């Protein structure tokens, strides 16, 4: 299990254990954490699972694919540490990961 902290835009924190193999998006959705809509269920087709990866974790979460990059390009309030959370696979190496949610996914 990897402990992941999801921080809503208003600062509310949710700390949950996520099974390795799931995506960071699935970890949020299965725990009913608000702020990640994930309309396409992880097909990299909607960009409604946008998160900001905590600086300390940027390297460990890897880099985005060309498809993810071009989806993110059109999401709102994109920053250098923006990712689509459905494209980040949880592993033991991500134990302690912190992600923040944007104000809105649409």
Partner 1 sequence: MSDLAAHVVILGAGHAGGTAAALLRQYGHTGPITLVGAEPLPPYQRPPLSKAWLKGEADADSLALKPLEFYAEHDIDFRPSTRAVEINRGERTVRLSDGAALTYDKLILATGARAIALPIAGADLAGVMFLRTAADAELLKATIGPGKRLAVVGGGYIGLEVAASGRALGAEVVVLEREPRLLARVACETLSTFFRDYHEQHGVTFDLGADVAGFEGQDGRVTGVRLADGRIEPCDAVVVGVGAAPNDEIAAEAGLETARGVVVDLEARTSDLNIFAIGDVAHRPMPIYDRMFRMESVPNALEQAKQVASAITGRPAPAGECPWQWSDQYDLKLQIAGYAFDVDQILVRGDPAAAKFAVFHLKGDQVQSVEAINSPPEFMMGKQLILSRRPVDKARLADPSISMKEVAA
- Positions touching ligand FES (CB under 6 A) are 25, 38-40, 42-49, 84, 86
Q: Please, which of residues 18-37 interact with partner 1 by CB under 8 A?
A: 22, 26, 29-30, 32, 34, 37
Other Cβ atoms less than 10 A from the Cβ of 61: the count is: 22
**For residue 99, which of 42, 44, 61, 47 has the smallest C-alpha distance?**
61
Structure tokens given for 68: 């993810």
Closest CB to partner 1 among residues 70, 77: 70
Query: Is residue 2 a contact point for partner 1 (CB under 8 A)?
Result: no
User: In terms of CB distance, is 25 or 55 closer to partner 1?
Assistant: 25
Nearer to ligand FES, 25 or 97 (CB): 25
Strand partners, 99: 6, 53
Residues 105, 75: Cα–Cα separation, whole Å: 8
């Amino acid at each position: 299990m990897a402990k992941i902290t999801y921080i809503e835009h208003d600062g509310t924190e949710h700390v949950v254990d996520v099974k390795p193999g799931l995506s960071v998006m699935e970890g949020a959705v299965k725990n009913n954490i608000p702020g990640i809509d994930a309309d396409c269920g992880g097909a990299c087709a909607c960009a409604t699972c946008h998160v900001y990866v905590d600086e300390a974790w940027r390297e460990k979460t890897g880099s985005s694919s060309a498809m993810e990059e071009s989806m993110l390009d059109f999401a709102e309030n994109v920053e250098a540490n923006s990712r689509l959370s459905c494209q980040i696979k949880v592993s033991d190496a991500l134990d302690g990961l912190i992600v923040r949610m944007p104000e809105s996914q649409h």
